[in-house]
Structure 1
Amino acid sequence: MTDMISSLSYAASGMRAQADRLRHISENISNVDTPGYQRKLVSFHENIDSGTVETGRVQLDRSPLDKVYDPGNPLADETGHYDGSNVDLVVEIADAREAQRSYEANLKIFDQARDMTKGLYDLLRR
């Protein structure tokens, strides 16, 4: 019985972690054209005590920023370049799809565990 209830907790923690990941991916996508913006990366780790998944600290992607040539931009240096962002839209969309599918998988596990628990309670009531 406790295993089924624990599986609800595990699945819920996975959904929370993927929702947090999607939030940061959305921030990255919305700042793709923001000068000097560094992509945010989210890491996951297991909570040793509960066995659930948690998000770690948000880290900034240290890859080099794109150099954008726009001599009319007030941020441009003497060569006409300024630092763009290091967000790759294709990578962000792929990460968003992966996070969405992981969220959906956790949701299916949650639903199945909930249905099994409900069925067990119904059997015990008879």
Structure 2
Amino acid sequence: MDLERALTASAAGMAAQSVRLRVVAENLANRDSTGNSPGAEPYRRHTVTFASQVDRATGVATVQVQKIGTAAGDFPERYEPSHPAADERGYVRTPNVDSLIEVMDMREAQRSYGANLSVIETTRAMLLRTIEALRG
């Protein structure tokens, strides 16, 4: 039944967006995590890559997390000579996490999750109406 397939696709979408939200939370939680010694690498922003996959049991194209990777790029530096991770110039390498980007990713994940939840709620209502009509 196509309604079951809609549930499968939406549930996969919600699961994928849940992972994305967790990664955003980790990035925000570590946005100030520097290294402990001079030259040590600070926290590097994590990214989520999605991929389409066909659910073999139902034949439904679903989304899944393909990879949780790290963002490339340089680390910003902050002048803080008393920090244990400060180099000989007094600069500390800081994480490449931009709070604005993380909040945008969080809101996009929230909208996608909400859209998938709406599909599930609508599908559930349709199934209940069908059951009521059959009892009828």
Deviations 1:35-82 (Å, cap 9, x if unpaired)? 111100001111124411111110000111111211001111100012
Residue in structure 1 matched with residue 61 of structure 2 by the alignment: 51
Residues of 2 paired with 1:7 and 1:57: CA distance?
A: 24
Q: Calculate the TM-score normalised by the size of structure 2.
A: 0.88
Structure with the higher helix share, 1 or 2:
1
In angstroms, what is the RMSD of aligned CA positions? 1.0
Structure 2 stretches of 5 or more lacking a match? 35-41
Deviations 1:7-40 (Å, cap 9, x if unpaired)? 0111111111111100000000000101111100
Residues of 1 paired with 2:20 and 2:130: CA distance?
A: 34
* Secondary structure class of the residue paired with 1:57: strand
Residues of 2 paired with 1:56 and 1:67: CA distance?
A: 32
Residue in structure 2 matched with residue 38 of structure 1 by the alignment: 44
Q: Calculate the TM-score normalised by the size of structure 1.
A: 0.95
Residues of 2 paired with 1:125 and 1:11: CA distance?
A: 28
* Secondary structure class of the residue paired with 2:51: strand
CA contact (8 A) 1:5 1:117 kept: no
Name the % identity: 38
Structure with the higher strand share, 1 or 2:
2
Residues of 1 paired with 2:54 and 2:117: CA distance?
A: 22
